């Protein structure tokens, strides 16, 4: 914008190393916050070959269902349910 070359001002990007880190912090409720989608998101990223780590901090009505959906990722060390 306004003739300023913003690309020249941006720091050089380095390749990402390590897993993609996702952190959820909040109430585990599906209708309003869509917390129930976290299991499907992690499963899809895993299917695409993305090395992902999920940390979930929170509680709520979706906690039990989410724990069940994330069980494979928790067992593989790719997700943690912190409460």
Answer left, alpha or beta for residue 80, where phi above 0 means left and psi between -120 and 50 means alpha.
beta
* Per-residue pLDDT at 81 exceeds 90: yes
Q: What is the CA radius of gyration of the chain?
A: 17
Structure confidence by residue, pLDDT tens digits, 51-66: 999 999 999 998 999 9
Q: With CA atoms as reference, report the closest residue to 83 among 69, 68, 67.
A: 67
pLDDT of residue 22: 92
Place of tokens 């992690």: 42
Q: What is the pTM of this model?
A: 0.74
Give the pLDDT score at 4: 73
């Amino acid at each position: 914008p306004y003739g300023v070359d913003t690309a020249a001002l941006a720091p050089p990007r380095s390749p990402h190393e390590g897993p993609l880190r996702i952190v959820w912090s909040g109430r585990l409720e599906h209708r309003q916050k869509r917390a129930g989608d976290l299991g499907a998101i992690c499963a899809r990223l895993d299917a695409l070959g993305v090395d992902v780590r999920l940390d979930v901090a929170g509680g709520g009505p979706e906690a039990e269902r989410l724990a069940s959906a994330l069980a494979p990722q928790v067992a593989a060390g790719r997700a943690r349910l912190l409460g």
